[in-house]
Amino acid sequence: MQQPRVLLGPNNTTTVCPICSASIRTAVKYTTTTRTHISAALCCMICFMGCIPYCSDSARNTDHYCPNCDSYIGTYEK
């Protein structure tokens, strides 16, 4: 039996964990990407504020995890 695809967004999502089958609200962790580093370089060249993309969640991907069993559910890419 195939699990339906979970629609993940930039914030916590209510879903059923495909591993433990619990009804959960996902835990999120933000990860930096190449796009984050490029944004930081551009900010540094324009206004000398290169740390802004690292402090903002809008420039990083959102990884979703099950808070019950800590399994990886998916990534929302920005």
Q: For residue 7, tell me if it sits in a domain.
A: no
Count of all residues that appear for the chain in the document: 78
The DSSP line for 18-35 is TTT--EEE-EEEEE--HH
pTM: 0.76
Three-state SS at 74: strand
Q: How far apart are CA 52 and CA 16, in angstroms?
A: 34
**Domains identified in the chain, total number:** 1
* Per-residue pLDDT at 42: 85
Answer whether residue 2 shows pLDDT above 60: no
Residue with more model confidence, 59 or 69? 69
* Per-residue pLDDT at 57: 77
Q: For residue 41, tell me if it sits in a domain.
A: yes
Q: For residue 32, tell me if it sits in a domain.
A: yes
- 5-64 pLDDT, tens digit per residue, is 667 888 899 999 989 999 999 999 999 888 888 888 888 888 777 777 777 777 889 999
Q: For residue 37, tell me if it sits in a domain.
A: yes
Q: For residue 60, tell me if it sits in a domain.
A: yes
Q: How far apart are CA 50 and CA 53, in angstroms?
A: 7
Domain hosting 48: range is 14-76
